[in-house]
Structure 1
Amino acid sequence: MKAVQQPVTVSLTPAGTPGRLVWAGQAYAIQGVLDQWRYGGRWWLGEVPRDCYLVQAGELVAEIHHEAGPDRWWLARVQD
């Protein structure tokens, strides 16, 4: 996987899982969540907990992260 670390827009499904991802002006429909986990953050560095998802969006396999406090989504990594 290649590190990206760029902000993205994510729309949720009615069930509350990621359903659509917009990255670099391109929209990707998410067909499935392959894995999900909660990262607690390095509190001693001021990081807040975040929800992480590994998603399949067409040919794109991506790891996206969500911080609830500032409601911020970003693309952490893509499969290369």
Structure 2
Amino acid sequence: MKAHQTEVRVDLRAGRPARLIWRGQPYPVQAVLDEWRYGGRWWLGERPRTCYLVQAGALTAELHQEDGEGGRWWLARLLD
């Protein structure tokens, strides 16, 4: 199953995802499997962002957070 820029709420602990809420369901993050920076396609107006691959309950999810004040979070994709 894939999700394309589906907004989610993410609670942080020590600056990293600790819980995500998707479709009204909370998913505690057991592990951050990877973390990287993406510069964005500036020519399309995309903002740079920090990306995380997390294990959250039964979900393995790729989360993105835009840089800047109030940077939004979204679920970029789910891995099977």
Structure 1 residue ranges, 4+ long, deviating more than 6 angstroms after superposition: none
SS in 2 for 1:44: helix
Q: In the alignment, residue 75 of structure 1 is paired with which amino acid?
A: L
Alignment of 1:67 onto 2:54: no
Q: How many residue pairs align between the two structures? A: 79
Alignment-derived partner of residue 76 in structure 2: 76
Give the unaligned 5+ runs of structure 1: none
Alignment-derived partner of residue 49 in structure 1: 48
Normalization by structure 2: what TM-score? 0.91
User: How far 1:68 sits from its partner (Å)?
Assistant: 2.5
SS in 1 for 2:27: strand
Alignment-derived partner of residue 34 in structure 2: 35
Q: In the alignment, residue 35 of structure 1 is paired with which amino acid?
A: D
Q: State the distance in 2 between where 1:47 and 1:60 align.
A: 27
Q: State the distance in 1 between where 2:44 and 2:54 align.
A: 28
- Cα RMSD of the aligned pairs, angstroms, is 1.3
Give the unaligned 5+ runs of structure 2: none
Alignment-derived partner of residue 11 in structure 1: 11
